[in-house]
A and B are shown apart, each in its own frame.
Chain A
Amino acid sequence: MQLLRDLGRRKVRTTLTILGITIGIWALVVFGSMANKINALVAGGSEFYAGKVTVSAAGGSMGFGSPLAISAADRIAGLPGVDVVVPGVSLLMSDQASTVSFGIPELIEGQVAGADRGRETFALHYASGRALTPADEGSDVTVVGSDIARQHNLRVGDSLTLRGEPFTVVGILEPTLTAPDTTAVVPLAAGQRLFVASLPTLVSARLDPTAIASGLTVYPKPGVAPEAVAAEIKTAEPDLVTMTSADFDRQVGSSTSILNAILVGIALISLVVGGLSVINTMAMSVAERTREIGIKRAIGGGRLRIVRELVTESALIGFLGGAVGLALGAALVLAANEAGRSSGTVLFQLTPGTALTAVAFSTLLGAFAGFVPALHAARLDPVTALRYE
Chain B
Amino acid sequence: MAPTALLEGANLRKTYRLGRDTTVEALRGVDVRIEPGEMVAIMGPSGSGKSTLMHILGLLHAPDLNHGPRPELRFEGRDIVALSDAERTRIRARRMGFVFQDFNLVPTLTALENVMLACDYAGVRGPAARTASRGALDLVGLAGRGDHRPVELSGGEQQRVAIARALVNRPSLVLADEPTGNLDSERSAEVLALLRRFNREHGQTFVLVTHDAEVGAACDRVVRMRDGRVRDQAPVALATPVDLSPRVAAVA
Known contacts A9-B149, A381-B62, A383-B61, A299 near B55 by CB under 8 Å: no
- Interface membership of B75, Cβ < 8 A: no
Question: For window 50-66 of chain B, which residues contact chain A by CB distance below 8 Å?
Answer: 55, 58, 60-62
| Assembled-state Cα–Cα distance A299/B55 (Å) | 12
User: Are A300 and B107 touching (Cβ within 8 A)?
Assistant: no
Q: Which of A22-30, A190-198, A290-298 contacts B (4 or more CB under 8 A)?
A: A290-298
B218 interface residue (CB < 8 Å to A): no
CB distance from B105 to the nearest CB of A (A): 7
For B89, the closest partner residue in chain A by CB is: A302
Q: Is the CB of A300 within 8 A of B94?
A: yes
Q: Does A206 contact B (CB under 8 A)?
A: no
Q: Check: B165 CB closer than 8 A to any chain A CB.
A: yes
| B7 close to chain A: CB less than 8 A | no
Distance from B227 Cβ to chain A, minimum over Cβ atoms (Å):
20
CB of B99, distance to nearest CB on chain A (Å): 10
Task: Give the chain A neighbours of B85 by CB distance below 8 A.
Answer: 303
Bound CA span A382–B91, Å: 14
**Minimum CB–CB distance for B241 against chain A, Å:** 34
Q: Is B117 an interface residue (CB 8 A)?
A: yes
**Cross-chain contact of A6 among B62, B108, B118 (Cβ < 8 A):** B108
The 8 Å CB contact of B93, one of A10, A299, A386, is A299
Smallest CB separation, A183 vs chain B (Å): 61
In whole angstroms, what is the CA distance A94 to B85 when docked? 77
Give the interface centre of B90, B94, B107 by most chain A CB atoms within 10 Å: B107
Chain A residue contacts of B107, Cβ below 8 A: 292
Say which residue of A10, A292, A302, A382 sits within 8 Å of B60 (CB atoms): A382
* A296 & B89 in contact (Cβ 8 Å cutoff): no
Asked, given contacts A9-B149, A381-B60, A383-B55, whether A298 binds B104 with beta carbons under 8 Å apart, the answer is: yes
Q: Across the interface, do B89 and A381 meet the contact criterion of CB distance under 8 Å? A: no
Whether the pair B121, A301 counts as a contact (CB closer than 8 A) is yes
| Chain B residue, CB-CB nearest to A291 | B104
Complex interface: chain B residues within 8 A of A384 (CB): 61
**Closest approach, in angstroms, between the C-beta of A51 and any C-beta of chain B?**
63
When distances are taken between beta carbons in the complex, the residues of chain B under 8 Å from A6 are 108
Contacts of A301 in B (CB 8 A): 89, 93, 117, 121
Within the complex, the shortest CB–CB distance from A292 to chain B, in Å, comes to 6
Let me know if B149 and A295 touch, CB within 8 A. no
Which residues on A sit within 8 Å (CB–CB) of B86?
A: 302-303
> Does chain A have a CB within 8 A of B206?
no
Tell me, in angstroms, the Cα distance from A381 to B118 when the chains sit together. Answer: 18
> Which residues of chain A have a CB within 8 Å of any CB of chain B?
6, 9-10, 292, 294-303, 381-384, 386
Q: Which 10 A-B pairs have the closest CB atoms?
A: A300-B93, A300-B121, A9-B108, A300-B92, A382-B60, A295-B104, A383-B61, A383-B60, A383-B55, A299-B118
29 A-B pairs with CB atoms under 8 Å apart are A9-B108, A10-B108, A294-B104, A295-B104, A295-B105, A297-B89, A298-B58, A298-B92, A298-B104, A299-B98, A299-B117, A299-B118, A299-B121, A299-B165, A300-B121, A301-B117, A301-B121, A302-B86, A302-B89, A303-B85, A303-B86, A303-B89, A381-B60, A381-B62, A383-B60, A383-B61, A384-B61, A386-B100, A386-B104
